[in-house]
Amino acid sequence: MATENHPPLGFRVYLIITLAYWAFTLTDGAIHMLVVLHFHHLGFSPLSIAMLFLFYEIFGILTNGVGGWIAARLGLNRTMIIGGFLQVFALGMLAMDPAFLTVNYVMTAMALSGIAKDLNKMSAKAGVKLVTPSGPDAESRLFKWAALLTGSKNSLKGAGFFLGALLLQLLAFQVTLAVLSATLLVVYLFTWWALPAEMGVTKTKAKISQIFSHHRSINLLAAARFFLFGSRDVWFVVGLPVFLQAVVGWNHVEVGSFLALWVVVYGFVQAGAPMLLKKAVPTGPTARNAAFLLAVFPAAIALALQQGYDPAQTLILGLAAFGVLFAINSSIHSYLILAYSDNNKVAMNVGFYYSANAAGRLTGTLLSGWAYQTQGLVGCLYWSCGFILAAALVSMLLPGEKPA
């Protein structure tokens, strides 16, 4: 526990947290791909498949809101373990006889998976703050460790997309889920044994009213995060894959492989953001400038499509540029939320911050379907640009000095 009376926990615990988070993330990516491909094969419409993930996102918002409060009282290790075991249970639910797999049943399993995912994410990212060694280069190390954890997670989620598709090709749907569930159970039994028992427990018991941050910089950063991740999902979740199939003419495997590759590369860039920025410690102006630069790319892609340029080449090149800039933006935000939080409140602040993140994803997902249906992919891209500009404007209010 890294509080006023205890030193940071060090690299060993950071490694345990990271390895457990990696294992969880592989199953998170796999379960998404498995559900999409399996239920598409059963004849579910795209809208029906999207609805299977509705509770996954809604419960993510709620979990992040109360998860930090729970972690402050019980400890980050316990919330991480609870999240891991919930994912084991959700995978096991989907491994049941196909006769049980009604829409409501699957939505319930995905809701549990959403709770598990956000308990794990909040615990892992807040844990990085607690285990970072103190010293003159502590903030630089915190930026690097947070970027590595976040970036590697996203790369492994992309790998999870591929793993889910591969296992579904080799094994039956139920067998695949049973294998993933059993493997994750072993990982989290080890993590339960290895993590310090009191990691992240606050000295004074947190009150439920403290779920909402009273820190101006954290509130502003959460608002910027809402718009940033809404800007990605407003065209990436529904509009892009449907466009690639309906207009470009790619099949399911080509679309899935392309999106998985994009997520993997995006994660690598995110992990390497400290080297790309060549800046030891980002500040508010760093977030502002990165957001304004990012806003150029969805607008440029939309203009290129309107001018009649080849849609496949335009999207491949545009997505590559957008992914690099978006990854850098995300890494800056992931560092700043930890830098703005003191150790005794990091779980609460991270939970509140990622609740805004989940709300942005949900808003972007729902808006993506409506915008594509009414305005096409070009409309989705202009919405994305607008969301990014909103994030940039909010970021202008962030403090300009190095976080203390």
> Is 60 exceeded by the pLDDT of residue 291?
yes
Tens of pLDDT along 96-155? 887 778 888 888 888 899 889 888 877 887 777 776 766 667 777 777 877 777 777 777
Extract the tokens encoding 81. 């373990």
pLDDT bucket at 213, cuts 50 / 70 / 90: low
Q: What is the DSSP letter of 97?
A: -
In the chain, pLDDT over 70 holds for what percent of residues?
A: 85
Q: What is the pLDDT of residue 252?
A: 64
Extract the tokens encoding 307. 């001018």
pLDDT bucket at 197, cuts 50 / 70 / 90: low
> Is 80 exceeded by the pLDDT of residue 58?
yes
Q: Where are the domains of the chain?
A: 11-395
Q: What is the pLDDT of residue 365?
A: 79
CATH homologous superfamily for 11-395? MFS general substrate transporter like domains (1.20.1250.20)
Better pLDDT: 330 or 196: 330
As a residue count, the chain comes to 404
Q: What is the pLDDT of residue 208?
A: 47
Across the chain, what does the average pLDDT equal?
A: 81
pLDDT bucket at 7, cuts 50 / 70 / 90: very low
Better pLDDT: 350 or 393: 393
Tens of pLDDT along 59-104? 877 887 676 667 667 777 788 889 899 999 999 998 888 777 888 8
| Residue 283 near residue 300 (C-beta atoms within 8 A) | no
> Is 70 exceeded by the pLDDT of residue 4?
no
Rounded distance between C-alpha atoms, residue 116 and residue 84, angstroms? 6
Percent of residues in the chain assigned helix, strand, coil, to nearest 5? 80, 0, 20
